Structure 1
Amino acid sequence: MVKKVLRPSDKKVRATYLIKEYSIPIVRACHIVDLSRSMWYYQSKRDDSEVIDKLTELAEAYPTRGFDEYHLKMRREGLIWNRKRVLRVYRDMNLKLRRKHKKRLIKRVKQPLETPSGLNECWSMDFMSDVLTDGRKVRVFNVIDDCNREAVVIDAGLSYPARAVVETLENLKEEIGTPKYVRCDNGPEFTSKAFMNWCTKNHIEIKYTQPGKPMQNGYIERFNRFFREDILDAYYFNDIYQLQKLSDNWREDYNFNHPHKSLGNKSPKEFLPRFDEEFKFFIKSGLNNNYLSNFKVS
């Protein structure tokens, strides 16, 4: 059996434990762990913070590399640190244990949430989820125009892959055109090649929010809250067609009648209509919620 030889630093840790847990004198604790008292009182003046920071940076950038690659990169950068010192810090940080490699998101830059000056300048988009009465999950794809907060589309489906997102946006392109840029989160539908290639083809810039920062897309988040309170949390749905019908009616009522404080208490269509004929929005101001009565939760 191989006897493990403890380093002075390890012995000091054990002596500290004995003193704290059993309230014995320092002399007795040092004698038990075979540590000289001079070593107990010794305070290291060594500062490895720069080495630790550099190794951490390299480990994050190259998680599958080893010590030799890290040390050579340091040398190429002009950091002439002793190899044994760097190796000691490398082992203390447990970097010799190979990290599991996984795909990482590109670091997102914080994008300011600004109000566009015109229509089709910026669209915000997001997904919502709910469950039908038979337990099937549904997804709702919401798109709004940040300029007048108009609900451009509310589309529901049992599944909503990137291909369906592109089809919806292609239909919107034929109806009202395309925006200069879109704001969305880092969901798989929005980071897929299909979606990114479609945006590149149509000269649309994608502004991703930072992970864990939903309020960087605040306009669509507020819209989602209204939609969930008025529709998803208020009704049961037997199938996707009921959900889509209610969503279409709610979207029309929202665009023509919902007052926004940030728009001077005007509705999206009242604040800035998309077409000239929509100046007659007041014709539809008599919309009510009678169409919801058949599906109201008792």
Structure 2
Amino acid sequence: MKPGRKRKLVDEVCGEWQVSIRKACEALEFDRSTYHYKSRRCGQAALEDRIKAICHVRVRYGYRRVHVLLRREGWRHGQNKTRRIYRELGLQLRNKTPKRRVKAKLRDDRRPATRSNETWAMDFVHDQLATGHKLRVLTIVDIFSRFSPALQPRFTFRGSDVVAILERACKEVGYPATIRVDQGSEFVSRDLDLWAYQRGVTLDFSRPGKPTDNAFIEAFNGRFRAECLNTHWFLSLADAQEKVETWRRYYNCASEHPSGYVIEEKRFC
């Protein structure tokens, strides 16, 4: 029996039978020094709150990746402590969690972008070749200027592929302060997390099942599908890459976008 449970039994015996702690401990064969022991461990409420805050936003992170983020923020405790608190809070990952039970950070702290490269949005669009082969397109857009730094079709994507595309785009137009993404496996990957940390980029995750948290990329994807994907047959991956890049350049060079913001960065056309 755990000491905490035995200590509770001692208190119950003392209260019910009106006996001393010494006699109650002797009857229950419980050492009095253990009963009187007071933990010297400092409080961990702040650490618990921080772990919960991380898991509310990064809902697919296990305790190891949570510990990495804590170390980056200056916490110096061991990984075992993170694991213990993570489990005590009931944050273990479940493969099939109903959407109504998934926790996520509310979007009440977002502010409208006021300049280019302040906030990007990123997502995937699905399509297929004329042969029926499935195709995915990584779409990226600056939510202030509506400039699209990259549109990349591929058959499959990994986290490292997303990092390579972002690095090429950022070398041309600069690094964003924040990138809004959903909870897709490519976006919660270790590769993208490490890249964002090294480049000083914040990954702003949407709540699962809430596409309105990333409404800018949804609107962009709708226009991209209507004007490009639905109007072309893609015979091969190379053909898709060429046509998608042509549309991206046309979109970026448009004199005015639906938002009313006039793009002045013609050097990227």
2:60 counterpart residue number: none
Listed as ranges, the matches of 1:199-210 within 5 Å are: 199-210=196-207
- After superposition, the Cα gap between the structure-2 partners of 1:137 and 1:258, relative to the gap in structure 1 and judged at 3 Å, is farther
Task: State the identity %.
Answer: 30
The answer on whether the counterparts of 1:122 and 1:145 sit within 8 Å (CA) in structure 2 is yes
The answer on whether the counterparts of 2:149 and 2:173 sit within 8 Å (CA) in structure 1 is no
Displacement of 1:198 in angstroms is 1.0
- After superposition, the Cα gap between the structure-2 partners of 1:258 and 1:233, relative to the gap in structure 1 and judged at 3 Å, is farther
| Higher relative contact order, chain-length normalized (CA < 8 Å, sep 6+) | 2
**Which of 148, 160, 176 lines up with 2:157 in the alignment?**
160
Displacement of 1:102 in angstroms is 2.2
- After superposition, the Cα gap between the structure-2 partners of 1:228 and 1:261, relative to the gap in structure 1 and judged at 3 Å, is closer
Point out where structure 2 has 5 or more consecutive residues left out of the alignment.
Answer: 1-92
- Residues 124-166 of structure 1: CA deviation (Å, up to 9, x unaligned): 0000111111121111001111110111110111111111001
Asked if 1:217 corresponds to 2:217, the answer is no
**Which of 143, 146, 169 lines up with 2:143 in the alignment?**
146
Counterpart CA distance in 1 for 2:249 and 2:258 is 19
Displacement of 1:243 in angstroms is 1.1
Task: Count residues with an aligned counterpart.
Answer: 173
The answer on whether the counterparts of 1:124 and 1:146 sit within 8 Å (CA) in structure 2 is yes
**Which of 247, 250, 254 lines up with 1:253 in the alignment?**
250
Displacement of 1:263 in angstroms is 2.5
Counterpart CA distance in 1 for 2:202 and 2:107 is 12
Secondary structure class of the residue paired with 1:262: coil
2:103 counterpart residue number: 107
TM-score of the two chains, using structure 2 as the length reference: 0.59
Q: Aligned-residue CA RMSD in angstroms?
A: 2.4
The answer on whether the counterparts of 2:179 and 2:202 sit within 8 Å (CA) in structure 1 is yes
**Which of 113, 116, 120 lines up with 1:119 in the alignment?**
116
Counterpart CA distance in 2 for 1:236 and 1:261 is 26
Counterpart CA distance in 1 for 2:159 and 2:224 is 22
Displacement of 1:170 in angstroms is 1.3
Secondary structure class of the residue paired with 1:124: strand
The answer on whether the counterparts of 1:111 and 1:207 sit within 8 Å (CA) in structure 2 is no
Displacement of 1:261 in angstroms is 4.0
Secondary structure class of the residue paired with 2:107: coil
The answer on whether the counterparts of 1:127 and 1:142 sit within 8 Å (CA) in structure 2 is yes
Q: What is the one-letter code of the residue matched to 1:194?
A: D
Q: What is the one-letter code of the residue matched to 2:173?
A: I
Asked if 1:134 corresponds to 2:131, the answer is yes
The answer on whether the counterparts of 1:145 and 1:151 sit within 8 Å (CA) in structure 2 is yes
Secondary structure class of the residue paired with 1:151: coil
The answer on whether the counterparts of 1:124 and 1:144 sit within 8 Å (CA) in structure 2 is yes
